[in-house]
Amino acid sequence: MAKTGMFHHVGTFLIFAAAILLLITTISAPVINDIAMLKVMLTNKTDIRNSSVTFGTFGHCVLDVAPVQTDQDYCTGKHIGYNPANIMAEIDNTNFNTASTDTTKALTRVMILHPIACGLAFIAFLLALGAGFCGAIMAAMVSAVTWLVTVVVMACDFALFGIIKNHVNKDGSGSHAYYSVGMWTCLAAMICLFFGTFVVLFTCFSKRMHRKDNNRVSKGGEAGYVNGTTTRRRHFWQRRSRY
């Protein structure tokens, strides 16, 4: 029972870790300028360093806007859905065809699932804190739904920013695009949710099985103890006739 409780705490911690990781992805640019899902290092060197573009859940930022001698960032407003292909076309003259532009623009709307998955993960964590069987079952169910949502949004993220990344790195401008922190925290959250769901579910049923076994043993002991002495059932051939 002690080991079961310990494993349950491990599963609860994994779900909590997933919630924090999804929160980091959610507050990527433009909420926090330096946290990005995709980052593009530009070639227009300023007095300090190269400018860069950070793409996040609700928009993008351009860091170290040239020409300056101090840090100066430009960020868009926070909104659902934007057009990363047009942004890179304007900033770096990257060429995108119509299909790529329309696809990436549509996929940015799916990123609203980031805060939804984050909220579901926190709910699953709070449910997992409860010691009851029903709470653990509900935690496992909500965690499983959160995992499915995270898988969907992560697949869309890789498809969306994979298109941008390939075009930027192959257009010959010298700019370099790569996946950044927000993408990897989403991937790590998916892994934590996968294992956390199964650990919580396993410990839940394991604890219930142990409880049933203990009740069965307890009832068997009470049935075999009469007037301070233990009784043992005899086979039918060992019983003597009363007549």
Cα-Cα-Cα-Cα torsion 43, 45, 49, 51, nearest 10 degrees, comes to -50
pLDDT at 48: 62
Kindly state the tokens that stand for 87: 């942004």
**Rounded CA gap, 17 and 124, in Å?**
11
**Mean pLDDT, the chain cut into blocks of 10 residues (243 residues total):** 69 96 97 96 74 95 74 88 96 94 97 98 92 80 97 97 96 93 98 95 67 49 49 51 46
- State residue 63 phi and psi, 5-degree precision: -95, 145
What DSSP line would sit under 112-136, residue for residue? Answer: GHHHHHHHHHHHHHHHHHS-SHHHH
Please tell me the pTM assigned to this model.
Answer: 0.82
Residue type, position 34, single letter:
D
CA distances to 113, 185, 201 from 154, in Å: 9, 10, 24
SS3 track for 144-170: HHHHHHHHHHHHHHHHHHHHHHHHHHH
CATH class for the domain made up of 2-206: mainly alpha
pLDDT, position 213: 45
Contact between 46 and 185 under an 8 Å Cβ cutoff? The reply is no
- Supply the pLDDT for residue 129: 87
pLDDT score of 243? 42
Amino acid 225: pLDDT: 47
| Alpha-carbon span 182 to 198, nearest angstrom | 25
Cα dist from 117 to 20, 131, 151, 153, whole Å: 11, 24, 10, 9
CB–CB of 121/22 below 8 Å? yes
**Confidence at residue 1, expressed as pLDDT on a 0 to 100 scale:** 44
Where are the chain's structural domains?
2-206
Report the SS3 class of residue 212. Answer: helix
